Structures are given as structure tokens and as C-alpha cells.
Amino acid sequence: MNTSTSKVFIRLLLPAVVILFSGCASVPEIKPAAQNQSQVITYALSLQGTPYRYGKSSPEDGFDCSGFVQHVYEKQGITLPRTVKDMALSLPQIPKNDVHSGDLVFFNTNGKSFSHVGIYINNDKFVHAPSQRTGKVLVSNLKNSYWKKHYIGVRRPK
């Protein structure tokens, strides 16, 4: 290659190389929430069978629904309010068609808005501490007629 050809080549090649590598230099957005959500679900599912106890929020004492959700998220370093209503009012609402693992699903089970909460897993399933009657933390299906009838909405912890 002669000198003039080299200069033309460098003038044409250099911008292309800069453009090519500048795209590689950008840092992709990292979303740690996916990892955290996986940990949330894994831990929540590990608590299946823990007794239901109104007003309690530990594996040793048992859980009510909001105590269960608060405990699971606290283990991931996320602080949530203690009551179902306060959780619902403090978290952003999410459209039902945008629900993700780890989102909170809310229900009206006693005539009062936001009287029950669970943690969405996937495929219309959620884990929760339903009631004294069921007696323990378990997985339920949103398509179940009871839960479908009492469903209010979804909120996403930050």
C-alpha cells in the first residue's frame, strides 16, 4: 500500500472502527431485580407448611399473610409496611398483564379493600399464608374461583 492509499484507508476505516467499538463500550443495563426475585420466590417457597398465626411474622412463631410477605422481603433487604393495606398503598400498581415473579397480589377477602396479600410465583400461582382455616403457608392459583372473585390487583416492591 502506498502512502496516499494508506491515508484513504485510515480515513475510511478509523470512523468505522470507532463506531463499531463505541457500541461495544456501552454498558448493558443490569437488572438485579431478576436475581432478587428468584431469591424471593425460592425463600418464600421454602416456608411452605409454616403455621398460620394471626399477627405473627417469623418462621418460628408462624405467619399471617402480611407478616409472611414482610418477612420474605426483609430477608432480601427490602423493607415493607406491616399491614396489607399499608403495603398496597405504598407500592406502585402494576397492570395484571404485566405481573412478574415476586410481585404482590392483593385481595378483598372480608369486605375491606386490601385484606389479603401473597407473592406471585408464575403461571397464575402465588404463595401466601391464607388463614387459620387452611393453617399454613401454601401455594394457590389465581384462577381458583375464590381467589379470582376476591382479586384486587398487583403491586411491585422496589
H or E segment and range at residue 65: helix 65-74
Candidates 24, 100, 116, 150; catalytic one: 116
Residue 10 in any domain: the answer is no
Supply the DSSP symbol for 96.
Answer: G
| pLDDT tens, residue by residue, 1-58 | 555 544 444 444 444 433 333 333 333 332 334 556 789 999 999 999 999 999 999 9
Axis-axis angle for helices 65-74, 33-46 (nearest 10): 130
Candidates 24, 65, 71, 100; catalytic one: 65
Q: How many domains does the chain have?
A: 1
Residue 121 in any domain: the answer is yes
Residue 24 in any domain: the answer is no
Residue 6 in any domain: the answer is no
Annotated active-site residue 128? The verdict is: yes
Residue 129 in any domain: the answer is yes
Its domain, for residue 74, covers: 33-155
Residue 2 in any domain: the answer is no
Q: Is the pTM of this model over 0.85?
A: no
Residue carrying the nine cell digits 405481573: 99
Candidates 24, 100, 128, 150; catalytic one: 128
